[in-house]
Amino acid sequence: MGPSHLAWRSFVDPPEGWPKANPPEVLFTHRTNPALSQYNTEIVERALTKIPFQVSFAYTFDETSHFADVLLPERTDIEALQLCLMGGPNKAHRGNEPYVGVHLKQPAVTPYDTMDITDIFTELADRTGMLERYNQMVNMIMIRDGRGQPSADFALNSDKKHSVEEVTEAQCRAATNGMFGLDWFKENGAFFMPYPRLQTYHYLEMRQKKLRYELPYQGRVKQVGDQLRQRIQEQGLQFWEPKLEDHGGLPACEDYSKRYETGPEYDLWLIPTRAIQYAFAMNAMLPATMEVSEHVMGLPQIQMNIATARSKGIKTGDRIVVESPWGKMEGEAFCREGIRPDCLVVTAHFGHWRTPYARDKKWPNMSTLEPNNIELTDAEGASSESVRVRAYKAR
Q: Report pLDDT digits (tens) over 349-387.
A: 888 899 998 898 888 888 888 887 766 666 555 667 788
Q: Where are the domains of the chain?
A: 82-207, 219-253, 257-393
Contact indicator for 367, 36 with CB cutoff of 8 Å: yes
Measured CA to CA, the distance from residue 326 to residue 390 in angstroms comes to 12
pLDDT in tens, 29-81: 998 898 888 888 888 888 899 999 999 999 889 999 999 999 999 998 889 99
CATH number of 257-393: 2.40.40.20
Burial class (CB in 10 A: 0-12, 13-18, 19+), 35: buried
Pick the more confident residue, 315 or 2: 315
Measured CA to CA, the distance from residue 54 to residue 28 in angstroms comes to 6
Nearest to 375 by CA among 240, 266, 271: 240
Pick the more confident residue, 207 or 382: 207
Measured CA to CA, the distance from residue 269 to residue 344 in angstroms comes to 6
H-helix or E-strand containing 164? helix 164-175
Q: What is the dihedral of CA 333, 335, 341, 346, to 10 degrees?
A: -50
User: What mean pLDDT value characterizes the chain?
Assistant: 84
- Asked if residue 97 has pLDDT above 90, the reply is no
Which pLDDT does position 216 carry in this prediction? 56
State the helix-helix crossing angle for 117-127 and 164-175, rounded to 10 degrees.
Answer: 110
Least confident of 5-14, 130-139, 318-327: 5-14
Beta strands in the chain (DSSP E): 26-30, 53-58, 70-73, 82-87, 99-105, 190-194, 268-273, 302-305, 319-324, 327-336, 343-347, 387-393
3-class SS at 105? strand
- Asked if residue 136 has pLDDT above 90, the reply is yes
Q: How confident is the model at residue 12 (pLDDT cuts 50, 70, 90)?
A: low
Least confident of 39-53, 88-102, 247-261, 378-392: 88-102
pLDDT in tens, 342-359: 999 998 888 889 999 889
Q: How confident is the model at residue 287 (pLDDT cuts 50, 70, 90)?
A: confident
Pick the more confident residue, 3 or 260: 260
Measured CA to CA, the distance from residue 96 to residue 195 in angstroms comes to 9
Q: How confident is the model at residue 307 (pLDDT cuts 50, 70, 90)?
A: very high
Nearest to 131 by CA among 123, 140, 139: 123
Backbone angles phi, psi at 339, to 5 degrees: -110, 130
